Amino acid sequence: MADTARRHAELVARIRDANHRYYQLDAPDITDAEYDLLLRELEALETAHPQLVQANSPSQRVGDAPSGKFAQVRHALPMLSLANAFSDTEVAEFVERIERETGDDLPAFSVEPKLDGLAISLRYEHGMFVRGATRGDGSTGEDVTANLRTVKSIPMQLATGLFPPEVLEVRGEIIMPRADFEAYNARARAEGRKPLANPRNGAAGSLRQLDAAVTAQRPLTFYAYALGEVQGADLPATHSQTLQWLRQLGFPVSPEVGTAAGLTGLLAYYKSIGERRDGLPYDIDGVVYKLDRFDRQQEMGFVSRAPRWAIAHKFPAEEARTTVEAIEVNVGRTGAVTPWVQMTPVQVGGVTVSRATLHNADQIARLDVRVGDSVIIRRAGDVIPEVVRVVESARRPPDSVPWQMPAHCPDCGSAIEREAGEVVARCTGGLFCPAQRVQAVVHFASRRAMDIEGLGERFAQDLVTFGLIQTVADLYRLQVADFLEMKRRADARDDSTPATVKAGKIADKWAQNLVAAIEASRNTTLERLLFALGISDVGESTAKTLARHFGSLDALMAADEAALQQVPDIGPVVAAHILHFFAQSHNREVIAELRAHGVRWTEGAPQRASDGPLSGKTVVLTGALESMSRDEAGAKLEALGARVSGSVSKKTALLIAGQAAGSKLAKAQDLGLEVWDEAQLLAFLAAQ
Ligand code: 5U1
């Protein structure tokens, strides 16, 4: 029994440490599978020896039996809400009020992202987690303790050492990180379960499950941002120091929090977070400014439920309600048919939009969107606006039926088909379909492909419509006169011929520029050409890998399935797409014509990743890179033979540290590993 108890204690300590490394240090030292094994061993031990189970054991965090109904919890100190500011002027008024009433010039503020999740309060007594509650009405919330025990980033025990505060209440937000939300929904869809509407609803809905075992299956995390009742602790003098202290106690605090002085500082923070918003791992709906000094907070006091010393500066709303006027479909480069709605124009995310995507037929069926419906649309950052849900279907005529994917392509009349197991329906017209041809030209000319400046969707459309080109190879035959002819016919069609043209003056500088841009694209690289050809699933990174691996287009075209699958990251699906592409005679003809028109690309000796300069080396990327995303950098390193890993260990050969690199950099330095900054990475890549 002594051995069993010792093993139990070891497992508890090891799992707690793994949770701490994963959630607080961002530096896991064991894999998910190893973690699961430890947890399973602990559970088996506790099943065999129930007397070993403690309320705060990591095993208790995977869920409890259904509780039936939540008990009510009266908050010792009310959970406050925040006043909102929707403009710089409102923020200026807030700062002026504080300056006037406290007499401080340039007061210091704690500045924080406003996480879009569910506010909760966690109560610790003598260092142990005893209760967690939702905000409820601010005075009384729901007891969701069992569910919160399943959220691994919430410490069950404070890291205070010997003298924990008698009482410590910590307030913060439960959220579902975006990547976890996407992964959860992808799995839910694949298994035929209902996906979550958005990360916020996901977080709130998951936490309020009656069965904590369900909550345990949801990828929730917690960030702390304030205190509630505290007894038996000396608090720091400012809010920002308190956040630091909370970090030391084991609570996750957003790495985006900081301090700023005066109105200029606050607005600069708002701008900076706004610019980085799409790259943050979680959804935020604004930022929060809190007067930093606690004595000054006391002076400012409260109005009703909101403090006068804090304010939420909100981003423009990302969701809006509007009416569906029509449902249409678009045909993309690969024939994918995407339904979209034409809607009454509406302001969302700071711009006016009148179209939103419906993604695919499954999505329409799930939402049951019909013409006349009132819908909620969402536009986050640069993302294409999408329909989130139908809010009112009362205006539908009684005989209205669910929308159906058309049987034929609106552009070429070919059959639209959907293969078993695929979510996407496709037009079967291939390059016979003008819509696919137009999109193939737009992609071919795009900046990261052949980089033909000025050749966008409108010109590609007109060139195809007026029969001036059939394939991308025909672009290299075009003369200034062809573009002028295209423009003349487009103006006549649109009844928009300029008066100067009618008077016989024809501007042709733009056409000369286009011809020159096409000319300039004649000399390119193999990887750009491969990307430009638009083979399904061959993005920039795969094109680069293929170019390096095969060295020449002829070698790639001659490769069979086995040879393709030798290439890192090329699986059976991508290999099949490549084989299919080159097996089609019209694609081979286009390549022959490109060559005949003098299009040339760099070719070299094949370079296999297995004999690349980084083969056998494990590389870790951390922090933000300026010149590329971490994924792009990872793909480049992998193409040179590296194994890219997410965590630093003794086996790591090299750490590449971008801006704001944190614990991984510290660990690499501790281990004495080689560390490069972005400039060293770029110099190395350029030398390859
Ligand atoms: N970051 C942050 N979000 N948030 C929400 N801080 C913060 N503070 C809040 C709320 C409701 O209330 C304070 C007044 C404690």
> DSSP letters along 382-416, please?
TSPPEEEEEEE-TTS-TT-------SB-TTT-PBE
Q: Are residues 361 and 324 in the same domain?
A: yes
For the domain that residue 461 is a member of, what is the CATH number?
1.10.150.20
Q: Flag the least confident range among 45-49, 140-144, 530-534, 631-635.
A: 631-635
- CA–centroid distance, residue 518 to ligand 1 (Å): 55
The pLDDT score that the predictor gives to residue 250 is: 94
The answer to whether residues 227 and 281 touch, using CB atoms and an 8 Å cutoff, is no
Position 542, amino acid: T
Please state, as a whole number, how many other Cβ atoms lie within 10 Å of the Cβ of residue 605: 7
Residue nearest to atom 13 of ligand 1 (CA): 80
**Burial group, residue 229, by CB count within 10 angstroms (0-12, 13-18, 19+):** middle
The pLDDT score that the predictor gives to residue 399 is: 83
Top pLDDT among 25 and 381 is at 381
Q: Are residues 254 and 160 in the same domain?
A: yes
**Which of 79, 80, 82 is the best mutation target for the ligand 1 pocket, counting ligand atoms within 8 Å of the beta carbon and taking the most?**
82
- CA–centroid distance, residue 540 to ligand 1 (Å): 42
Copy the structure tokens of residue 391.
């809010």
The answer, yes or no, to whether any atom of ligand 1 lies below 6 A from the CB of 117, is no
The answer, yes or no, to whether any atom of ligand 1 lies below 6 A from the CB of 288, is yes
- CA–centroid distance, residue 553 to ligand 1 (Å): 58
Domain boundary among 602, 629, 660: 602
**Is 211 inside a domain boundary?**
yes
Nearest to 260 by CA among 94, 102, 112: 112
The answer, yes or no, to whether any atom of ligand 1 lies below 6 A from the CB of 226, is yes
Q: Flag the least confident range among 227-231, 440-444, 519-523, 564-568.
A: 564-568
Q: Are residues 295 and 178 in the same domain?
A: yes
Q: Over the range 277-314, which residues count as b (16 or more CB within 10 Å of their CB) and which as e?
A: beebebbbbbbbbbbbbbebbebbeeeeebbbbbbbbb
Residue nearest to atom 11 of ligand 1 (CA): 81
The pLDDT score that the predictor gives to residue 65 is: 37
The answer, yes or no, to whether any atom of ligand 1 lies below 6 A from the CB of 440, is no
Atom of ligand 1 nearest to the CA of 307: 14
Q: Are residues 39 and 149 in the same domain?
A: no
Beta-carbon contacts of residue 664 (< 8 Å; ≥ 6 apart): 26, 27, 620, 622, 647, 648, 655, 657
The answer to whether residues 243 and 253 touch, using CB atoms and an 8 Å cutoff, is yes
Find the largest Cα–Cα distance for the chain: 102
**Is 27 inside a domain boundary?**
yes
**Is 180 inside a domain boundary?**
yes
Domain boundary among 394, 422, 445: 394
The domain in which residue 510 lies consists of: 430-521
Q: Are residues 202 and 161 in the same domain?
A: yes
Q: Where are the alpha helices (H) located in 231-322, listed in sequence order?
A: 239-248, 262-276, 294-300
Q: Please provide residue 247's backbone torsions phi and psi, each rounded to the nearest 5 degrees.
A: -60, -45
Beta-carbon contacts of residue 638 (< 8 Å; ≥ 6 apart): 545, 568, 569, 609, 644
The answer, yes or no, to whether any atom of ligand 1 lies below 6 A from the CB of 256, is no
Q: Are residues 144 and 15 in the same domain?
A: no
**Is 74 inside a domain boundary?**
no
Which one-letter DSSP state was computed for residue 647? S
Segment 356-365, tens digit of pLDDT: 998 888 888 8
Give the separation between CA 660 and CA 677, rounded to whole angstroms.
11
Q: Are residues 587 and 665 in the same domain?
A: no
Please enumerate, as own/partner, the contacts of 458-464 that have beta carbons within 8 Å and a separation of 24 or more: 459/483, 459/486, 459/514, 462/486, 462/487, 462/489, 462/490, 464/434, 464/437, 464/438
Percentage with pLDDT > 90 across the chain: 49
Residue nearest to atom 4 of ligand 1 (CA): 114
**Is 301 inside a domain boundary?**
yes
**Which of 288, 290, 291, 294 is the best mutation target for the ligand 1 pocket, counting ligand atoms within 8 Å of the beta carbon and taking the most?**
288
Segment 286-337, tens digit of pLDDT: 999 999 999 999 999 998 678 999 999 988 877 788 899 999 999 988 899 9
The answer, yes or no, to whether any atom of ligand 1 lies below 6 A from the CB of 120, is no
Catalytic residues: 114
Give the separation between CA 173 and CA 686, rounded to whole angstroms.
44
Atom of ligand 1 nearest to the CA of 135: 11
Segment 535-551, tens digit of pLDDT: 988 988 889 889 989 99
The pLDDT score that the predictor gives to residue 68 is: 47
Residue nearest to atom 15 of ligand 1 (CA): 226
Q: How far is CA 302 from the centre of its chain?
A: 37
Segment 61-76, tens digit of pLDDT: 544 433 447 899 999 9
The pLDDT score that the predictor gives to residue 64 is: 40
Q: Please provide residue 585's backbone torsions phi and psi, each rounded to the nearest 5 degrees.
A: -65, -35
Using only the alpha carbons of the chain, give its radius of gyration: 30
Nearest to 82 by CA among 74, 73, 72, 90: 90
Strand partners of residue 621: 656
Segment 183-234, tens digit of pLDDT: 888 888 777 777 787 788 889 888 888 888 888 888 899 999 999 999 999 9
Q: Are residues 515 and 661 in the same domain?
A: no
Q: Are residues 150 and 135 in the same domain?
A: yes
Give the separation between CA 259 and CA 244, rounded to whole angstroms.
12
Q: Flag the least confident range among 32-46, 212-226, 326-340, 612-626.
A: 32-46
Atom of ligand 1 nearest to the CA of 112: 1
Strand partners of residue 113: 287
- CA–centroid distance, residue 225 to ligand 1 (Å): 6
**Is 504 inside a domain boundary?**
yes
**Is 403 inside a domain boundary?**
no
The pLDDT score that the predictor gives to residue 26 is: 45
The answer, yes or no, to whether any atom of ligand 1 lies below 6 A from the CB of 225, is yes
| Helix (H) and strand (E) counts in the chain | 25, 26
- pLDDT, mean of residues 426-436: 87
Copy the structure tokens of residue 326.
């029509």
Domain boundary among 275, 292, 314: 314
**Which of 118, 121, 290, 309 is the best mutation target for the ligand 1 pocket, counting ligand atoms within 8 Å of the beta carbon and taking the most?**
290
Segment 234-293, tens digit of pLDDT: 999 999 999 999 999 999 999 999 999 999 999 999 999 998 988 899 989 899 999 999
Q: 3-class DSSP state for residue 664?
A: helix
Give the separation between CA 340 and CA 393, rounded to whole angstroms.
18
30 pLDDT band, cuts 50/70/90, is low
Atom of ligand 1 nearest to the CA of 81: 11
Say yes or no to pLDDT of 375 above 50.
yes
For the domain that residue 634 is a member of, what is the CATH number?
3.40.50.10190
Q: Where are the alpha helices (H) located in 49-168, listed in sequence order?
A: 88-102, 145-148
Domain count, the chain: 6
Beta-carbon contacts of residue 639 (< 8 Å; ≥ 6 apart): 541, 544, 545, 548, 568, 609, 612
**Is 576 inside a domain boundary?**
yes
Q: What is the mean pLDDT of the chain?
A: 88
Q: Are residues 465 and 531 in the same domain?
A: no
Atom of ligand 1 nearest to the CA of 82: 11
The answer, yes or no, to whether any atom of ligand 1 lies below 6 A from the CB of 657, is no
The answer to whether residues 675 and 657 touch, using CB atoms and an 8 Å cutoff, is yes
Say yes or no to pLDDT of 418 above 70.
yes
Which one-letter DSSP state was computed for residue 408? B
Copy the structure tokens of residue 593.
């014509």
Copy the structure tokens of residue 623.
């922090």
Give the separation between CA 253 and CA 247, rounded to whole angstroms.
6
Atom of ligand 1 nearest to the CA of 257: 1
Strand partners of residue 374: 323, 392
- Report the residue count for the chain: 688
Q: Are residues 231 and 172 in the same domain?
A: yes
For the domain that residue 31 is a member of, what is the CATH number?
1.10.287.610
- CA–centroid distance, residue 169 to ligand 1 (Å): 14
For the domain that residue 151 is a member of, what is the CATH number?
3.30.470.30
- pLDDT, mean of residues 9-24: 76
Angle at 219 between CA 215 and CA 225, to 5 degrees: 95
The pLDDT score that the predictor gives to residue 392 is: 65
The answer, yes or no, to whether any atom of ligand 1 lies below 6 A from the CB of 114, is yes
Q: Write the DSSP string, 491-518.
A: HHHHT---HHHHTT----HHHHHHHHHH
Nearest to 453 by CA among 396, 494, 510, 508: 510
Q: Over the range 237-269, which residues count as b (16 or more CB within 10 Å of their CB) and which as e?
A: ebbbebbebbbebbbbbbebbbbbebbebbbeb
Atom of ligand 1 nearest to the CA of 287: 1
The pLDDT score that the predictor gives to residue 485 is: 94
Q: Are residues 220 and 141 in the same domain?
A: yes
Q: Where are the alpha helices (H) located in 277-406, listed in sequence order?
A: 294-300, 361-367
